[in-house]
Amino acid sequence: MLGIELQRNGLIPLSRQVYQALRDSILKGRLTSDDVLPSTRELAKQLSVSRNTVLEAYEMLYSEGFIETSQGSPSRVVRGLLLEQRSLSLKPIEKTIDNSIKYQADFKTGLPDISKFPKRFWLQLQSKASEAMQTELWGYSGPEGLPVLREQIAGWLFRRRGISVNPKDIFITAGATQALHLLSGLFKKEDREIIIEDPCHIGMFRVLQESGYNIHPTPVDEHGLRTELLKANGASAIYVTPSHQFPLGGVLSAGRRAALIRFARENKMYILEDDYDSEFRYSGSPVSPLYSMDPNRVIYIGTFSKILFPALRIGYIILPAQLQSKWRQIRTYSDVQNPPFEQAALAEFLRLGKLDRYVQKMRRIYGFRRQLLLNSLEEVFGSIPQPWGDSAGLHIALQFPGMCFGSDFFRLEKEYGIRAVPVEYHSIIKGFHQDKLLLGYGHMSEEEIRKGILLLHKFISTFGYKE
């Protein structure tokens, strides 16, 4: 009935053959949204295979997000998965009145899915926690942040990252961007030199540039920063993303971690460790922060924008004691403090264990979308794009051997309502990553991912981005 033909003497396991046949049917539109699959017992009987074989195939389909199952009901094809390929046409988009772009396929990186966030519950929590706040907190409450939040973050870091930290060493910021912006004021004024990874988040690069730093880029490969290429250059600090390199996605290997710490010690530098999205790891064991290796030399930067929602504007840093009084001064003379309401709400969200559960839920969803993105790529592009880095975070770096994505590509795809950022956009020294694109998927629905990949494919094949 499903037209599945098995090769019983082939090298491919039967379960994989069943899986591939069903996936094919879904992707080709023979099975569409909400279609019911036969029960495992029934299909096993039809195909004359063991029930376990079918169960395994269904599990693969489930874990990759093609079907959904719930206790007692039959398995069904997920809604919005298949898109009518025919209806998709590649055409320049019209500008809106206010000159903003309405993207047809927006693979922007670093955006969480705000549609899944329990907004109403959060607002109730915020209101209740704020009502219970002492009146003094409506006045100035100091540049450190609310004590109750600093305590909750210490607990969170212990549970999730294995970091044991005194709440007094945690300083609340208005996000990770502000953390870096203000940290850049902590170090030597006269000759501002800093080492960063290349490629590196262009926004963070600009933060340092705006602060008047001379920036010394050091190349990155699939294992993160190439520490063997580090040169001191009189720098007072080095900015890294060791848990999930942005944008390439590598985890800094153990040997390089040790080398980096050694290098910083020898040259009396601080390491700014930006741990922007390590909550979301889909395989492998969790990566221990650099911070644990040398809390006196590593300044840890965390943020809740990527976990909860960007408008929250709450991040934090863990600061060595010798930098704390200067930090207080810098924060006071830049924007004084965070407002207390969001802080009180977040503290309560943490205290109730809601954040732990929310992260767990979203990791499943993001993992699913990542897998769907990879499946769609394979299906639509064939086997060309190679994923880089670890299975983590809200974006993926893809290598398209033989292709060349530069500023022309970036400009033109925008005209067609597509945003897939070339890695070159985040490169300081240009020319080393022209065959790579970044696809953010956290904020996209399953349908948007599928449609987006189809559009991207049409665009690339129409304009032919060959070297």
Residue 362 CB partners (closer than 8 Å, separation 6+): 112, 113, 116, 280, 307
User: Which residue, 447, 403, 454, 452, is CA-closest to 424?
Assistant: 403
User: Which residue, 292, 300, 294, is CA-closest to 268?
Assistant: 294
Min separation Cβ 175 and its own copies, Å = 6
- Alpha-carbon span 441 to 466, nearest angstrom: 25
Nearer to its own copies, 139 or 464 (CB): 139
- Alpha-carbon span 373 to 390, nearest angstrom: 15
Min separation Cβ 382 and its own copies, Å = 34
Nearer to its own copies, 178 or 243 (CB): 178
Min separation Cβ 232 and its own copies, Å = 24
Min separation Cβ 309 and its own copies, Å = 4
Distances (CA, A) of 131 to 137, 339, 378: 11, 14, 52
Contact indicator for 239, 194 with CB cutoff of 8 Å: yes
Nearer to its own copies, 338 or 376 (CB): 338
Cis peptide before 247 (omega within 30 of 0): yes
Min separation Cβ 115 and its own copies, Å = 6
Nearer to its own copies, 214 or 329 (CB): 329
Alpha carbon of residue 107 to chain centroid: 12
Min separation Cβ 433 and its own copies, Å = 23
Nearer to its own copies, 84 or 335 (CB): 335
**Residue in this structure with the two tokens 């207080």, named with its chain if needed:** 328
Nearer to its own copies, 114 or 254 (CB): 114
| Torsion, CA 404, CA 408, CA 412, CA 414, rounded to 10 | 90
Min separation Cβ 141 and its own copies, Å = 7
Nearer to its own copies, 114 or 352 (CB): 114
Question: Given the rule CB under 8 A, which residues bind its own copies?
Answer: 111, 114-115, 117, 119-120, 123-124, 126-127, 130-131, 135, 137-141, 174-175, 177-178, 181, 185, 189, 203, 206-207, 210, 212, 309-313, 329-330, 332-342, 443
Min separation Cβ 177 and its own copies, Å = 5
Nearer to its own copies, 58 or 246 (CB): 246
- Alpha-carbon span 60 to 80, nearest angstrom: 19
- Alpha-carbon span 338 to 140, nearest angstrom: 10
Could you give phi then psi for residue 450, rounded to 5 degrees?
A: -60, -50
Which residues is 302 bridged to in the sheet?
316
Q: How far apart are the first and last CA of the chain?
A: 46
Nearer to its own copies, 58 or 304 (CB): 304
Min separation Cβ 110 and its own copies, Å = 10
Exposure letters 8-45 (e unless 16+ CB within 10 A, then b) = eeeeeebbebbbebbbebbbeeebeeeeebbebeebbe
